[in-house]
Structure 1
């Protein structure tokens, strides 16, 4: 993450922020709404050989080749089933456009600083490197994803080398 990105994340958390919430399996997650470009239904993708399972392929979105990542497979939660309710969230992060397959989009919620708590440390038992924290809305817990850290991670850099379709 760039110094400017880290500062922006800290500023958003200090003031609170708005998050697009979505579901993966039985859990609710949130990403910074300012990173969302659009929300689409899941459509067929062009598969690319020798990519990790979580990279489903690519789509041509108005002339831009967009890699499609299934977050259920990436985070190892739930089954990767595709039906009329499956959604792709198109995000724009770190000069990259990426599609994220999720079970469904829920809402946009505003969280104040007091509603956002740091992600707990679980040691090596659970990978929390892509979490910015946990939000609370009424009695519900919201898992907040650091989408910039996820998209710029080493394993996602494989998408940089995908051939043009």
Structure 2
């Protein structure tokens, strides 16, 4: 049997409510350290036993919530970078898709060198979507070919959130 003062540590007794998760993500997104937010929450409810979850649970939940959404800052910076490159290079091309919530879900780009390589060696094209990035769990799908020296060359790169898209 588990003593009453340790029951809050049992996995079946731990749960982060939607409100608690919203509170945690709001403060961490605004720059407050998660440890400081948890310290304030523990004080507010009268101790960790009354909180309903443990510190590792909070870190896991905040990380999972971040993974669900693409960071608006990162995607905005990416689009700005694409726009800047296109303004400087006449043969730079990019395209992207947003979902209903205005979040970036797919993007593709290629530069002038990639285009000229494709025109010269485009008879062999490999599109491999087995790579995943860590931060956003997007699938990296490079378009790769081979030159006359049997070296790999890039024709373009695409990232997709969902293979069915």
Normalized per residue, the structure richer in strand is 1
Shorter chain as denominator, the TM-score bin is under 0.3
Normalized per residue, the structure richer in helix is 2
The structure having more radius of gyration, on CA atoms, is 2
State the TM-score, normalizing by the size of structure 2.
0.26
Greater relative contact order structure (CA < 8 Å, 6+ sep): 1
State the TM-score, normalizing by the size of structure 1.
0.26
